[in-house]
Chains A and B, each alone.
Chain A
């Protein structure tokens, strides 16, 4: 579903459903991360970073904790793989229903994210592979920069209708002010 479409400015889209898995490591961090890197096909992204590993998107979310976004078809297998690789050093939890994702693309996505915000989305160092949690329009948001032209925003489903509505209105205003 496209919520607002101004390709030369900003477009908001609800992407296809995906699975979200959270995992946390509590002991022997180096070894556990090594095992995970092996099964995921690359090292885990560092603090406040994100990365594509194979078909999965890995997002650092808090200390020793990551979020994995996979396709619905891969979800169960990934969960099992994560659980096995974590062993006694951590655990994984299915969080698929806990967050809604909105894809914001177009040259004005950074401007859009400064509205009702306190975070410096216009900072060029906040580029592809960067993750930031913040508060926008009084709603908790996690941003994952996909490319220079595109960012994914995650928020709990209960906040999503209001927040996505807020962005739609703001996007329309940006378009009107052109």
Chain B
């Protein structure tokens, strides 16, 4: 016996397995199969939490995921989860749980003072006060923020792992109640690949609350048999798995919970799994939510949904009260009343708002024979406190009547769960009598069955699930139930509270403390669109997303408007159906694995040199190779000086590289490149730029004619993927007629650059049989048994070579070159030295001067452009703005006061004037010393020699600069030639 409210036997809990857990510091015992809510109720706990705004005491209202009130925080450290619904947490040994949004304790909560001032803080009160400017608001807001929120935030990184899986099936069935199981069996019988998803930890849905006889078996047996049959035919059954979102083209995201909040996962470490299911057809068997009703104090602990009372009784063997009042507008609540009476509770009254003169079903007649049933009766008010209910008052036969009770079971009818149907783009039909929307038109390949479709009664539900799942299904083969189990709801929706009830304490949205009076006020103030009403009052915006409150709120709005419910509209249903942890959404793609980390093929070789790494987009490349105690700048300066005076070796494998072959290769390249290509002799190369269609420079690189009909095009590392897409677009879409093949060989070729006055010697020593190519020429050779291609091109401004080898054979090539260079006093250099050297030479880079806003004219490259045009970008360059005065043009800046020019700084003509330009990159004159920079300056080409200020207010740095041409080293260009 785990607790005073537990029945001696019955239910689907495993009484042989006691489970101990902690709530608010106190240890309790429950049984395996208990939810946290059922285990606490069994132990006589009635107070579960506090509401958001008024901190009103709240118990548990529901038995499923729709619970608005009983929220707890569970677990600790990297497994801590706030805002868990006690009704949706299955207990496990060692579960640590706490109530939340209360201080200092759940029983005595100072936030409850808000309840006292509630007349002065109606819906939307915060829009009407706290004036006096943003500074004052920040003060008020600080307090508001502390008061708001629910659970305490997590503070630790997640301890567990999440996973995504792709899954495909012919039929996905969501929900495993009678309709869902019948549908899954039917689809499976028709030969479909079936996935069945059930959010509960066990199959059965409503059968877990209302056992029945199906096909001559007890429902437990029938469910077990159905499970076996589905698995035997290759179906996949996922329990504890919620369909969280229904997306375009029948993609449904299922969230499988492998652990409960706070629970340590199994050996594989997985906490949850996200299944991305692409289904041929989706069957939604998601059931219906019971609705609360409007009466004063309808939020007090001890007021529960009727179906939930029955679920606690039958599934969990827990009696939620010993003397109950039932308020209903349908037959279903009579089952609760009879079940409670069977379990030994007394029934103070069944208040049925339906008229007495209706036809009574056998179920109602049975209740009338033994219990006090009042038709046309309404509950006015529940009375009670944090400790539980202390009676109620009702309107019976027109008279206000006091009732003694410790439990109120409420049934305001049922709303089909249409969320996924609506996410899928479906429409709804309204039934005035039952006051419910059910699915009407569907836009995707999807069908709703059972209670979710408004189907009433078990036999109709089984038939509906069976026949809708497959066009092949024969009605007579559908599962059937015993006639006693076939209970219809007979709802006559009645939204009107008793006139005696105070609407200020009649809650619609329990968690957010939105009352019927709030809704009426918002309407009077003109917030009359359903969306305005929702946003102004926060109706339906709590963690339960209005699962129980939405229709009650809509009906209230409809009353104010004097219009029928469907005409006031609905708010949009969007994913997720129930809240989903961010961890399972992200799965592995976060933290260190947020994006792929692309490693150059020589990564391990570099790592052995212990370089300083630099992230470049997805790539990781060596930035410098410090020696001894050198810092980055010292290392980079030494490396660049070595290149200028001796020789340096660097890895340029990540550059974009494209093999362009075929008789039309030159024609193709002249679409891509803004320079001439066709006139290149075999064995020669040249610098080139590529433009976007809008005329701006997209990238730069080199183009080499390796054979008469074969070229090698290089481009920047950062722009390589974009360039690959661009080449493919031009090849396949713009010029499909050309006889040309374009192969992306970026990662086929690894490349080692050798630069410096001694570079020629290095090349000669490692490729002795090859004549060293002259500048912008190429040759092939064999290096350490590896076929190589040597391109004589200079980025540093020194005589330089790029030696290409297949990336799977680059190791020996790199080793030989590095050794040869080191043998004559050379060194390795990284991206930082590369940057210093290129600034000195005024070479532009993507992300620096190639900023997506600069035209070739702005970059001083007009002379390179092919006069005949015909390349991409040429046409758009004719737009007038490209020729107008005031363009930002690329220049050099030289510091004249010894200060370092701050990178990224603004360039001014005088202090306190608006900028006339900016610095894109700054470095130092490697040999002479002194700070130099590249940048843009308004009409800069004509301002050489002008004195300006480079100003960085964010770093408090200033340098006086002189405008120069954007080249600081070997202006005549003799160093890189022979």
Contacts and interface: CB of A to CB of B under 8 A. Distances in A.
Interface stretch (B430-438, B444-452, B742-750, B930-938): B742-750
A123 B168 CA distance: 8
A24 B119 CA distance: 78
4 cross-chain pairs, A with B, having the tightest CB-CB distances, nearest first? A97-B807, A158-B598, A98-B748, A24-B741
A49 B165 CA distance: 25
Contacts of A114: 165-167
Contacts of B743: 22, 24, 93, 95
B808 A115 contact: no
Interface in B573-603: 587-589, 593, 595-601, 603
A91 B596 contact: no
Given A27-B739, A114-B167, A98 B268 contact: no
Given A91-B710, A173-B268, A118 B619 contact: no
Interface in B74-132: none
Interface string B653-693: 01000010111000000000000000000000000000000
Contacts of B597: 161-162
Contacts, number: 125
B166 A117 contact: yes
Nearest to B598: A158
Interface string B250-279: 000000000000000011111000001010
Of residues B166, B167, B663, which shows the largest number of chain A Cβ atoms within 10 Å of its Cβ? B166
B598 A97 contact: no
A17 interface: yes
Contacts of B268: 173-174, 176-177
Contacts of B588: 116, 137, 166
Contacts of A5: none
B710 A98 contact: no
A13 interface: no
A122 interface: yes
B362 to A, nearest CB: 50
A173 B741 contact: no
B600 A158 contact: yes
Contacts of A122: 167-168
B163 interface: yes
Contact of B278 (A22, A24, A120, A158): A120
A177 B593 contact: no
A93 B596 contact: no
Contacts of B269: 173, 176
A173 B738 CA distance: 50
A91 B166 contact: no
Given A139-B596, A176-B267, A96 B659 contact: no
A157 interface: yes
A26 B738 contact: yes
Interface in B140-184: 161, 163-168
Contact of B748 (A94, A117, A138): A94
18 contacts: A17-B808, A26-B662, A90-B662, A91-B662, A91-B709, A97-B747, A97-B750, A97-B808, A97-B810, A98-B747, A115-B164, A116-B589, A117-B166, A137-B596, A139-B596, A156-B747, A166-B593, A173-B270
A27 to B, nearest CB: 6
Contacts of B701: none
Interface in B745-760: 745-750
A116 B809 contact: no
A116 B270 CA distance: 14
Contacts of B601: 97, 157-158
B719 interface: no
Contacts of A91: 661-662, 709-710, 741
Contacts of A176: 266-269
Interface string A118-160: 1111110000000000000111000000000000000011110
Contacts of A137: 588-589, 593, 596
A88 interface: yes
A26 B741 contact: yes
Given A17-B808, A97-B750, A118 B587 contact: no
B806 interface: yes
Nearest to A163: B596
Contacts of A90: 662, 741
A54 to B, nearest CB: 23
A177 B741 contact: no
Nearest to B603: A161
A119 B740 contact: no
Contacts of B747: 97-99, 156-158
Interface in A73-105: 88, 90-91, 93-99
Contacts of B163: 115-116, 170, 173
Contact of B596 (A22, A88, A97, A162): A162
Interface of B: 161, 163-168, 266-270, 276, 278, 587-589, 593, 595-601, 603, 618-619, 654, 659, 661-663, 709-710, 738-741, 743-750, 806-810
Contact of A95 (B165, B748, B810): B748
A88 B741 CA distance: 12
A158 B164 contact: no
Contacts of B748: 94-98
Nearest to A24: B741
A26 B599 CA distance: 34
Of residues A98, A137, A174, which shows the largest number of chain B Cβ atoms within 10 Å of its Cβ? A98
Given A117-B164, A156-B598, A162-B597, 12 more contacts: A22-B743, A91-B710, A95-B748, A97-B810, A114-B165, A116-B163, A119-B166, A137-B596, A156-B746, A158-B600, A161-B597, A161-B603
Contacts of A120: 166, 168, 278
B873 to A, nearest CB: 25
A46 B974 CA distance: 55
A27 B741 CA distance: 11
B166 A118 contact: yes
B589 A115 contact: no
A161 B599 contact: yes
Of residues A88, A99, A119, A177, which shows the largest number of chain B Cβ atoms within 10 Å of its Cβ? A177
Nearest to B738: A26
Contact of B276 (A17, A118, A121): A118
Contacts of B709: 91
Contacts of B659: 93
B619 A158 contact: yes
B598 A93 contact: no
A51 B809 CA distance: 27
Contact of B806 (A97, A115, A173): A97
A88 B746 CA distance: 25
Contacts of A93: 659, 661, 741, 743, 745
Given A26-B738, A98-B746, A118-B166, A158 B663 contact: no
Contacts of B166: 114, 117-121
Interface string A20-61: 001110110000000000000000000000000000000000
B600 A177 contact: no
A18 to B, nearest CB: 10
Given A91-B710, A97-B809, A158-B601, A26 B739 contact: yes
Nearest to A86: B741
Nearest to A120: B168
A124 B588 CA distance: 27
Contacts of B740: 26
A156 B744 CA distance: 11
Contacts of B750: 97
Nearest to A156: B747
Contacts of A166: 588, 593
Given A94-B748, A173-B268, A159 B598 contact: yes
Contacts of B596: 137-139, 159, 162-163
A26 B709 CA distance: 14
Given A88-B663, A162-B597, A177-B268, A97 B589 contact: no
